[in-house]
Every structure is written in C-alpha cells, then in structure tokens.
Chain A
Amino acid sequence: MTAASQAPARRHDHDRDAPASGPSAPPAAQPRPGPSRLTGLWPYLLVAPTLVGTAYLLLYPLIRSVVISFQHFRTGELIRGGAEFVGLENYLEVLGGAEFWAVVRRTLLWTAVNVTLIMVISTAVALMITRLGRGMRLAVMGGLVLTWATPALAATTVFQWLFQSRLGVVNRLLTGLGLESFQDYTWFADGTSTFVILVALVVWQSVPFAALTLYAALTTIPAELYEAARIDGATGRQVFASVTFPILRPLFGLITSLEVIWVFKCFTQIWAISRGGPGEATTTLPVYAFQVAQSLHKYDLGSAISTLTVLILVVLLITHLRRMLRHEGEQP
C-alpha cells in the first residue's frame, strides 16, 4: 500500500513545486516523463494481486472444470488420471434429458420468487426505517443486523427446528390457533411446503443486507428534493416514483443483480435442509450439479451442468452488465 501511493505522491510534489519555481526553472520540467510513466504503470500493479488470485483460484479451476465437461471423467479418471475427450457427449446427455429442463424451470421460479420478495420487502422496510423515530429505528436496524449476522448454517438449523413436526413451534402455534390439521404436520415431507420454507429462510436472511443498503442510500438523498416534491403536492407514491427511485436506480440494479446471483447459486441452505428433495421438489441447478458429481460420481456430467449454469446466469444478467458497462463509459 505504501508503495502504491509513492508514485502519485512524487507527481504531486512535482506539481506543487512547479508554480513556486516558475516556468523558467528547468528542474521542474525535467522529471515530468518519469512520474507520468510510473503513473501509467501503477493501476496495473494495483490490480495485479487480484489478477493473479483470480487466474490461479478461479480461472484455472474453471478451465479445468470446462475441460472435464468434455471428457469421460468418473471415479477411475479422478484417481488414475488419463481422461479421454468425448466431445459434446456429456452436454448432449444433459440437454437431452427432461430432468435438466425441469431443474432449469424450477431454478428460474426459485430465483424469481425469492428476488421479487426480497426487493419488495427490502424497499418497504428501508422506506419504513426512514420514517421511524430514533428509538424504533435503532431497534429495527438492530434486529436486521442480528438477522444478517446469523450464519447460514445456524439459520438453516433453526428453521429446521421451527418447522419440526412434533416439537416445532410453528406447528404448536398453528394447532393452538385451532388449526388441528397442523398437529404433527411434516413440512419437509411435502415438496411445496419444503420449497415455501426454503423461500422463507432465504428471504429472511437476504432482506437485511438489501434493506440496510437501501436505507443507507435513502439517507443520502437531499431533503430539498423531497420538500420540492411536497410543495408540488406529490403523493407518497409519486415521490417514490419521481424522486427516490430514479436517484437510486443504479443501486437497485446492483442489489437486484447481486440477489439474483446469490439466490440462483444458493446451495448450502437447500442442501442442509432437503438435499434437493423430497423427490426433486427443491433441486435447483447448483444442487443438481452437486448431486450428479458427488453422489453419482459423474464428474463429467456435473461439470457440464455447472458450465450450463454459468451460461444461464450470464444470459439472465446480460442486460444489467451491458447497462453497467455503458454507465462506466459515461464517467469522466
């Protein structure tokens, strides 16, 4: 870090000297090519560690994975090596099966339901926090922070306990409310209810980050803008549509795409709760790839599914990527 700031510092010293010594002073002009050439190199030196890390720990394994997806790679090849290339065989096998397409549809549904709920609830909660009194605001933010701080595996374990059939608090409360059909109801035996519980878990875990980030951004909007809108007689909804949302649009875009990525790739919670079951009710793409690779030892097919997963995610996010890049280009 110290090295990183040295060259700009030197350039600055030079800048500061220049007006003092005047245009006639030759030493001021002399070092100019040196520092500017260094400045030209600095950004590359600064990103070098990132590039090296990404190349070795992400790109290389990813290439290995893609290579495996074109090979016959089962347990024998994993131990002995010497895998043979089989062309598109793995992809044809994956894409030819009806199961894969069912998993893709389920993953898209899973992502759409979760991300919609997360964004709507987070926006509502963030707007709510801005209107709360100091004490209540701190309490709600504290609650959100606590939820956010709950590690995924702990939260997953807790949700299993909440919905436990015989002793779980949810069934006991529902029974207490007179809904006798929930006596010893086994939530995790049914595909739909397992799916619903997983959605509840993921939304519960994801709202705090989105809501707190949105709230932080909301506080940066100048009050004058709201006052102006108020004087113009705008309703709350109109203020949101014409002031809040346009200003926060880039942040909404960023948070939505982050949530899409996280929800789409979500693995730990699903695996810990249902392993993709019951049946295939909660088998999303990452779970499917893991099942095929680890449980069936078909590493080649698993790699093919992973490659397709990445491609689908890229297609889903391509509009946002394009807009982001255009935005980058606009910056001075």
Chain B
Amino acid sequence: MTVSPSGSPSGSPTGRLPRRLRRVPLNLAALAVLAVSLFPVYWMVLTAFTPTRDIQARTLSFWPAHPTLEHFATAVRADGFWTFCRNSLTVTAGAVLLALLVALLAAFAVARMRWRGRKAFILMVFVAQMAPWEALLVPMFIIARDTGMLDRLSMLTLIYFMTTLPFTIVTLRGFLAAIPADLEEAALIDGCGRTAAFRRVVLPLLAPGLMSTSLFGFITAWNEFAFANALIIKNQDDRTLPVWLSSFGNVFGTDWGATMAAATLFMLPVLLIFLILQRRVTSGLIAGAVKG
C-alpha cells in the first residue's frame, strides 16, 4: 500500500500534503482498531464507577457523570476478597518463576546444543501444549487426594507451572535462537567464560523474551478456574480469585456495578505487571534494534 511511488513528479512542491491525505484512511483504520480494543475494557471500568441508578437509567452515558466508589467498596468488602487475592498472587508468582527457570534450562539445551533425542524432546514439548487440561480434572483430583495434596495451594502451583511450561519453552527457545551464537562465541574469544558469556551477552538480550513469556504465564495462571474450582473443596480460605469471581452471580446477583468493579480489580494486577514489564520489553526491543 505505501509501496506506491511516493515521489510522483506532480507532488514535488506540495509533496507533504498528498502523503498526509493518504494517511487518513490508515489512521482511521488505526482508530477503529483502537476503539474496538479499548471499548469493552472502558465500558467495564466506566460501569464500575457509575452509580446503580445511572446504570439502570434509560439514557446512555459514555462519560462518568457522577463517579462513585460504592461498587468497589461492595466488591472489596465481600467475604474473603483479600485472602483470595493473596492466594492467587502466591500461586501465580510461584508457578511463573518455576516455569521460567525450568524452561530456560530446557530452551538452552534445545537452542544451543546438539544431542540425541533432541527432536523427540521438541516434539514432546509441542504435543504437551495440546494437553487437554480440563479433561485431566478427574485424574488430577485422584492424584491430589492420594498424595495428600488436595486443598493445597502448592498442588495448584505445580499444575499451573506445568500448564505454562511447554509454551514457555517454545517461546524462550525462539528468543534464544534469534540471538546469534556468534555473539556468545565473540564473548568467549574476548575472554569471557561460558557462564559470563551467557550472563553478560545472552541474558540481557533474552530479557524481553523472559518478560513476555512470564507475562503469558502470569495471565494463564491468574485466570485458571477449572482446577482451582475442583481441587480446593474443603478449605474455602484457599480459594483463588477466579473461583470467587465466577461466583459473582451468587455474590452480587444482578448488581452489574459491583460485578464490573470486581472484574476491574481482578484485572488490575495483570495490568500493573503488564505495564511494568512492557516498558522493559519495548526498551529491550529498542536496545536490540539500536545495537543492530
């Protein structure tokens, strides 16, 4: 589209104007994409801040006319909210860190070493992504029960670790493979040891990869509902946020304001981590681009 000849002879003095005009449809499309991506989230947050009488009013408002915190108060005061928050954070962070560590080892072996069984290992990792996790509820329940891990958050941590591991390996391996092995070798020639070469050359370049894969792992684990629902039965204090969130219907009834406030709060940690990490991801990408 932009490939069309930009320096057409007619446009030499006013060459800027046609280009800007040509950008109009492009920018309109961009605005449309932006609107579609943002609107549902905007509507969620807006509803969370809108008083119930305004939500039920017959006229629509796209702007918080009378912002209120009543719905957040309702959500936060609901039974066990903070406990579930803490449980979710613990389980998710544990699973993500474990997956990153284990995946980094495996990705290094796959991307940088030649060994018998490597192909089979890659195939196994790829197939593991197809694992029908919802279908494993019954056997998981039996295993947890038989090993005394039922009602334990550590069992959930292990399961979330395993659900995110294959993807983490695949992506980290991709990021590792994109880092030329020559860089490491150059560092080796410059007198670094293998460990130093990895830490000083590969790891900084891999940082964006580690960040984005951990983001994915965080979202997956933070979201998980079926296992948390099935494996935490007796000890209700060990429930996680998604299980609590899914019971909104019972907790808040048709109180859409409180429901949206709870959904907003549920989204908040993911968003915060995203914002913190995303800056590093982009700065890492830019640094990589500058270094060429």
User: Which residue numbers of A lie inside 8 Å of B, CB to CB?
Assistant: 1-2, 4-6, 8-9, 11-13, 15-16, 39-40, 42-44, 46-47, 49-50, 53-54, 57-58, 60-62, 64-65, 68, 78, 125, 128-129, 131-133, 136, 139-140, 143-155, 157-159, 161-162, 164, 167, 169, 172-173, 176, 204, 208-209, 216, 219, 226, 229-230, 234-236, 239, 254, 258, 261, 265, 267-268, 272, 286, 289-290, 293-294, 299, 302-303, 305-306, 309-310, 313-314, 317, 321, 324-325, 328-329
B284 to chain A minimum Cβ distance, whole angstroms, is: 11
Residues of A within 8 A of B162 (CB): 53-54, 57-58
> A16 to chain B: which residues have CB within 8 Å?
188, 191
Q: How far is the CA of A235 from the CA of B109 in the complex (A)?
A: 43
CB neighbours of A8 from chain B (8 A): 194
User: Which residues of B have CB within 8 Å of A78?
Assistant: 138, 142
Known: A44-B115, A61-B139. A49 touches B102 (CB 8 A): yes
B266 neighbours in A (Cβ, 8 Å): 151, 153-154
**Which of A44, A128, A154 has a CB less than 8 Å from the CB of B30?**
A128
Q: Are B139 and A64 in contact (CB under 8 A)?
A: yes
Which residues of chain A have C-beta atoms less than 8 A from B121's C-beta?
A: 47
B113 and A230 contact, CB distance less than 8 A:
no
- Is the pair B137, A294 in contact by a Cβ cutoff of 8 Å? yes
Contacts of B217 in A (CB 8 A): none
A15 CA / B194 CA spacing, docked (Å):
12
- Let me know if A54 and B128 touch, CB within 8 A: yes
Do B122 and A272 touch (CB < 8 A)? no
List chain B residues, Cβ under 8 A from A229.
Answer: 3
Which residues on the A side are within 8 Å of B33 (C-beta)?
Answer: 125, 128, 140, 143-144
B274 nearest CB neighbor, chain A only: A149
Q: How far is the CB of B190 from chain A (nearest CB, A)?
A: 11
25 pairs of residues in contact across A and B, judged by CB atoms under 8 Å: A12-B188, A43-B113, A47-B121, A50-B105, A50-B106, A61-B136, A61-B140, A125-B33, A136-B30, A139-B30, A140-B33, A146-B271, A149-B271, A150-B41, A151-B219, A153-B223, A154-B44, A154-B245, A161-B260, A172-B60, A236-B3, A261-B129, A268-B223, A289-B135, A303-B135
Contact B109 A161, beta carbon cutoff 8 Å:
no
Whether B226 lies near A325 (C-beta < 8 A) is no
| Pairs A-B, 6 closest by C-beta atoms | A306-B135, A64-B139, A9-B194, A46-B109, A143-B37, A61-B139
Closest B residue to A172 using CB positions: B60
Task: Contact check, B3 vs A235: say whether CB atoms are below 8 A apart.
Answer: yes
Query: Residue B161 at the A interface, CB < 8 A?
Result: yes
Q: Which applies to chain A's interface (DSSP): helix, strand, loop or mixed?
A: helix
Partner of A65, one of B105, B135, B248: B135
Q: What is the chain A residue whose CB lies nearest that of B59?
A: A172
Complex Cα–Cα for A285 and B77 (A): 38
Answer whether residue B259 sits at the interface, using C-beta atoms and an 8 A cutoff: yes
Q: Which residues of A contact B222 (CB under 8 A)?
A: 151
Pick from A9, A49, A176, A208: contact of B193, CB under 8 Å: A9
Interface residues of B in 3-17 (CB under 8 A from A): 3-4
Neighbour of A317 across the interface among B41, B103, B130, B223, CB < 8 A? B130
> A154 contacts which of B108, B167, B267 (Cβ < 8 Å)?
B267
Count: A-B pairs, CB below 8 Å: 274
The residue in chain B whose Cβ has the minimal distance to the Cβ of A216 is B285
CA distance A53 to B168 in the complex (A): 14
Q: Which residues of B contact A4 (CB under 8 A)?
A: 105, 108
Q: Mark B10-38, 1 if CB is under 8 A from A, else 0.
A: 00000000000001001101100110111
Q: Which of B254-284 contact A (CB under 8 A)?
A: 256, 259-260, 263-264, 266-267, 270-271, 274, 278
**Interface contact A9-B130, CB-CB below 8 Å:** no
Given that A47-B109, A151-B267, A157-B245 are known contacts, is A143 also in contact with B34, CB under 8 Å in the complex?
yes
Q: B128 and A58: CB pair below 8 A?
A: yes
Minimal beta-carbon separation of A264 from chain B (angstroms): 8
Q: Is B183 engaged at the interface, CB distance under 8 Å to the other chain?
A: no
Q: Contact mask B112-155 → A, CB, 8 Å, 1/0?
A: 01010111011111111111111111111011000000000000
Residues of B within 8 A of A254 (CB): 170
For A131, give its contact among B26, B118, B245 (CB under 8 Å): B26
Interchain CA distance A53-B55 in the complex, whole Å: 49
Contacts of A286 in B (CB 8 A): 132, 134-135
CB distance from A290 to the nearest CB of B (A): 6
Q: List the B residue with the shortest CB-CB distance to A154.
A: B263
- 11 additional A-B residue pairs with CB within 8 Å, beyond A47-B109, A64-B142: A8-B194, A43-B113, A58-B136, A58-B162, A61-B136, A128-B30, A131-B26, A209-B216, A216-B285, A219-B289, A302-B138
Most buried by A among B139, B143, B188, B260: B139
Does B81 lie at the interface of the complex (its beta carbon under 8 Å from any beta carbon of A)? no
In the bound complex, residues from chain A placing their C-beta under 8 Å from that of B41 are 146-147, 150, 158
A62 and B1 contact, Cβ closer than 8 Å, known pairs A54-B162, A158-B40, A172-B60: no
In the complex, are the beta carbons of A204 and B36 less than 8 A apart? Answer: yes
Q: Kindly identify which residue among B38, B194, B225 contacts A268, using a CB–CB cutoff of 8 Å.
A: B225
Q: How far is the CB of A193 from chain B (nearest CB, A)?
A: 17
Interface flag for B104 (CB, 8 Å): yes
B113 to chain A: which residues have CB within 8 Å?
Answer: 39, 42-43, 46
B83 within 8 A of A: no
Question: What residues of chain B lie closer than 8 Å to A329, measured between beta carbons?
Answer: 119
Q: Is the C-beta of B158 less than 8 angstroms from some C-beta in chain A?
A: yes
Whether B214 sits at the interface, judged by CB under 8 Å, is no
Tell me the nearest residue of chain A to B248, going by C-beta. Answer: A157
**Cβ–Cβ < 8 Å partners of A317 in chain B:** 130
How many angstroms from the CA of A149 to the CA of B4 in the assembled complex? Answer: 36
Give the complex CA separation of A239 and B267 in angstroms: 40
